Amino acid sequence: MSLGEFDLIAKFFTRRVTRAALGVGDDCALFATSPGMQLAVSSDMLVEGRHFLPTVQPARLGHKALAVNLSDLAACGAKPMAFTLALALPRVDEVFLDGFARGLLALADAHGCELVGGDTTQGPLNICITVFGEVPTGQALLRSGAQAGDDLYVSGRLGDARLALEVFRGALALDGAAFEAVRSAMEQPQPRIAFGLALRGLATSAIDVSDGLLGDLGHVLRRSGVGAEVQVDALPRSEVLRALPQHWQRQCTLAGGDDYELVFTAPPQHAARVAAAGLTAQLRVTRIGCISAAPGLRLIDADGRAVVDSFGSFDHFKP
């Protein structure tokens, strides 16, 4: 017996909403931002084979679909409020939906982010989430604020998600424990919400690393009208990644994608406050370079020698 559309919404996705005046089940969801706050909105669409593998556990997919959206709020320093979910499914698969909803709603609960509406339809598997947060007016972290002389930082570690993808692709092999560690980075990224909030008033610019460090940093540099020097050997990476040849280390950290860490800039006089923000959020924070007035992105190694950028950023319309 198959569930119809309305039963499906009711069974898996209707929850009591507390923040929203009206949640799933009317034409619109209704809610309000607090006085003095701006709404921060981001929308991400996930497609099978491009953003996730068909073999991913449904609960992990539910987690990741929301995590990549929350990561955009983190990069703006916004506090999560609510989200909508639009879902195209080839068929009603209750095992899939049960797992997907569990993973999705567990992460939503962890960040106080309420499901307030959405849409379900039949079609090739596609997950589109739009997330809403709030940030005090004028205090959002933007891509456009980096200043010459700023330090350049990244949260957490880079490259494990790409490493896992290369194992799935058969380009590399890892033993079981190592593979599980990097697979978790790929399938269960943790949006850096608390850290993003801590960076308000401290960072001059921020972006989350979704398409690879070089590409995403490039957006900051273009928007800010500045350049940067990045110390490629300083990029934070796991022991698993460190055990691999240098080429893989650089490929995965510089142009891996799917990291969902925050890259941000802050003036040198804020270095101690940046370190403190990392401690508060229980997150490793690494200085990886600095911002220059001269445009362009220069990569240097531990000995100060130039590294040629042959890595490229991820583009959804390039192979």
Choices 99-107, 125-133, 240-248, 286-294 (CB under 8 A): range interacting with its own copies: 125-133
Looking at beta carbons only, is 161 or 240 nearer to its own copies? 161
Choices 123-131, 156-164, 273-281, 282-290 (CB under 8 A): range interacting with its own copies: 123-131
User: In the bound complex, what is the minimum distance in angstroms from residue 208's beta carbon to its own copies?
Assistant: 6
Cβ atoms of 260 and 68 within 8 Å: the answer is yes
How far, CA to CA in Å, does 214 sit from each of 57, 126, 244, 318?
30, 28, 20, 16
CA 135, CA 202: separation in Å to the nearest integer?
A: 14
Q: Does 25 engage in binding with its own copies (CB under 8 A)?
A: yes
Q: Does 22 engage in binding with its own copies (CB under 8 A)?
A: yes
* Of positions 16, 50, 169, 305, contacts its own copies by CB under 8 A: 50
Strand, coil or helix: 113: coil
Cβ atoms of 84 and 41 within 8 Å: the answer is no
Q: Does 257 engage in binding with its own copies (CB under 8 A)?
A: no
* Of positions 19, 31, 147, 300, contacts its own copies by CB under 8 A: 31
Q: Does 120 engage in binding with its own copies (CB under 8 A)?
A: yes
Q: Which residues in 77-106 contact its own copies (CB under 8 A)?
A: 78, 82, 84-89, 91-92
User: In the bound complex, what is the minimum distance in angstroms from residue 222's beta carbon to its own copies?
Assistant: 10
Tokens encoding 287: 């200085």
Q: Does 188 engage in binding with its own copies (CB under 8 A)?
A: no
Strand, coil or helix: 296: strand
Q: In sequence order, what are the beta bridge partners of 286?
A: 154
Residue 202: Cβ-neighbour burial (10 angstroms; 0-12, 13-18, 19+): middle
Q: Does 40 engage in binding with its own copies (CB under 8 A)?
A: yes
Q: Does 315 engage in binding with its own copies (CB under 8 A)?
A: yes
User: In the bound complex, what is the minimum distance in angstroms from residue 195's beta carbon to its own copies?
Assistant: 14
Q: Does 261 engage in binding with its own copies (CB under 8 A)?
A: no
Q: Does 41 engage in binding with its own copies (CB under 8 A)?
A: yes
Q: Does 180 engage in binding with its own copies (CB under 8 A)?
A: no
First-to-final CA distance of the chain: 41
Strand, coil or helix: 135: strand
User: In the bound complex, what is the minimum distance in angstroms from residue 72's beta carbon to its own copies?
Assistant: 4
Strand, coil or helix: 275: helix
Q: Which residues in 221-240 contact its own copies (CB under 8 A)?
A: 223
Rg of the chain (C-alpha set): 20
Cβ atoms of 307 and 251 within 8 Å: the answer is no
Looking at beta carbons only, is 168 or 314 nearer to its own copies? 314
> Alpha carbon 107 to chain centroid distance?
13
# of chain residues touching its own copies (CB under 8 A): 75
